[in-house]
Amino acid sequence: MNRSIYQSKVSRIAGVMLLLLAASGTATAMQTDIQEQLRVYLGSVTENTVGGVSLRHKLEVKNVYQRRANRPIWVRNGDFTTTGDAILKKLARTDSEGLSPEEYYVPVVRQWVASGDPQRLWHAELLITDSLIAYFSDVAMGFTAPPSKKAGWHFPKNVVDVAEIADPFFAGQKTFRQVLDELRPASGRYHSLLAAHARYSAIRLAGGWPAIEVSGSLRSGDRGRSVMALKQRLIVSGDLRPDNKPLDQFDDATAAAVLAFQNRHGLTADGIAGRDTIAQMNVSVDDKLAQIELNLERWRWLPRNLGERHILVNVAGSELELKEGAETLLEMRTVVGKPEHRTPLFSDKMEYLVFNPAWHVPASITRKLLKRERRQPGYLDRNDFQAIPHAKYARLPIRSLANHELEHSSFLSTYRLRQAPGKKNALGRLKFMFPNKFSVYLHDTTDRHLFAKSQRAHSHGCVRVEQPQELARALLLADGLGNSEIDRLIDSGKTRKMALSSPVPVHLTYQTTWVDQFGQVQFRPDIYRHDKAPIKSMDNARTIHAAVSNSLLNSTAIKLASNDQ
């Protein structure tokens, strides 16, 4: 080879190597600089913002980097690491959890890294970690605060040690999915509601459903454009098969689909699309998604450990479940408090059952019963009510009292009203006690017809159960009490208290949407108006994050544009 050619090649190779070494040196210097910036920032006790964003979990972020000697995780050589890019993609899909990607500043982080600004790189590094911890926390405990006691929410604050669960992920010992599985509420109802959220998100992405414009009702035999809109609405929500023809005719299949829709929404089920049914059908898919997202949030607010065996009462849905782990042992309808006598939302432990209970009537109900007695003399005696003097224990027949003593102020100053055990007793034959400050409990009832109603908010706050004897059998089975013994206790007519060997947690919750055992998405009216305020709070939180995100994107974009000039 010609010596000059050889020397030229050697020179070019050496030049390339020098460039590579220089680039490597620059990259190493950049990483060292980021590492130093992290050390200085995280060591500050006063600084809590990066690039205009307030960190939500600075202490946890600091702990993550301290264990790594402040070495960056997500950004290297002026770009994302493979892991960093994967995490950003996961944060961009947090809407699948009923959360919002704007809350985790994904577009901002991408733009900061694209800017090539060394300061923005370590800002991006910190913001990814903070956003990831925020996401983990939101999945575990909710991204908004639960309602106050004044608003009717009496559960203790759900506290999860997110750092303890997530630390192995940052150490490379757990996968992202493993961490999420540990942080999510364990209930199968939460996971089925996530699937419902995905389904309604797909409906929204496809354009939602048509509005139905009709002045009256639609029923079997009707035809026309309103029927066509009705059927298209039912097809989109999965209540009617898409191949139902002709599209403008209200046939038997349409009536069955309307019936299914009514059952899923707690409406009077008659197969006729009347005013209330049409109003529910015209609720937008956005509003349905907001309702689903709120109820996902409610699961995150609940205590982590509901108990291996526990009772879950959904007040909004007027239903009860007895659970053993993931298995549903019993499911039944309930009657809950009227809107003016709301059933409180809280957790406690059932300690004992009372067979053939007496009913010591609260003062608020006593007033109403005394008014009825004045309208229908003899009503209280006929229904086994008695007057119990405050001064001494005695049971006086109501007929023995003078008329002036039946005036509610006079009566309540001297007596308490008691209904004797028996077939006429409003509590029925069984009472399930979990002593609490609200004086609320589960019980049997003589008003069996109420369980057939679609709306079952008719009590004064206690929860009436559809199958009290089955519930008693399931609870007492662990204590060795068989069916025949339970029947004997009931049939005796005598009041008998039976303690549970192991108290059973009872949770009175409020779920206005859930997925039933058949995979049907159920929606219920917000009978206590508990939905509006938290949905507004969730919207406000998202709006604030979106505004901050947009402001940062605009400012970085302006800087990028000026650099291009």
pLDDT digits (tens, 9 = 90+) for 392-409: 888 999 999 999 999 989
Amino acid letter, residue 12: R
DSSP state of 156: P
Mean pLDDT along residues 87-92: 95
For 452-504, write each residue's pLDDT tens digit.
999 999 999 999 999 999 999 999 988 888 889 999 999 999 999 999 999 99
Please tell me the distance from the alpha carbon of residue 312 to that of residue 505, in angstroms, as a whole number. Answer: 9
> 228: Cβ–Cβ under 8 A, 6 or more apart, which residues?
247, 248
Separation in Å, CA 285 to CA 232, 281, 533:
14, 10, 19
Phi, then psi, of 407 in degrees rounded to 5: -70, 135
Pick from 199, 106, 103: nearest CA to 142: 103
Higher pLDDT, 556 or 87: 87
> 211: Cβ–Cβ under 8 A, 6 or more apart, which residues?
229, 282
In this structure, what token pair is assigned to residue 155? 């559960």
SS3 state at 504: strand
In this structure, what token pair is assigned to residue 358? 């007496």
pLDDT classification of 352: cutoffs 50, 70, 90: very high
Strands 415-419 vs 385-389: parallel, antiparallel or unpaired: antiparallel
> 292: Cβ–Cβ under 8 A, 6 or more apart, which residues?
98, 193, 196, 197, 200, 513
pLDDT above 50 (res 20):
no
**Helix 532-564 / helix 106-115 crossing angle, nearest 10 deg:** 10
For 117-157, write each residue's pLDDT tens digit.
889 999 999 999 999 999 999 999 999 999 999 999 999 99
> 148: Cβ–Cβ under 8 A, 6 or more apart, which residues?
none
- What's the mean pLDDT when you consider all of the chain? 91
Beta bridge partners of 415: 389
Q: End-to-end alpha-carbon separation of the chain, Å?
A: 48
pLDDT above 90 (res 559):
no
């890019």: which residue's tokens? 85
Asked if 448 and 403 touch (Cβ cutoff 8 Å), the reply is no
For 164-219, write each residue's pLDDT tens digit.
999 999 999 999 999 999 999 999 999 999 999 999 999 999 999 999 999 899 99
Please tell me the distance from the alpha carbon of residue 516 to that of residue 394, in angstroms, as a whole number. Answer: 49
Beta bridge partners of 508: 313
Asked if 334 and 466 touch (Cβ cutoff 8 Å), the reply is yes
Q: How many helices (H) and strands (E) does the chain have?
A: 18, 19
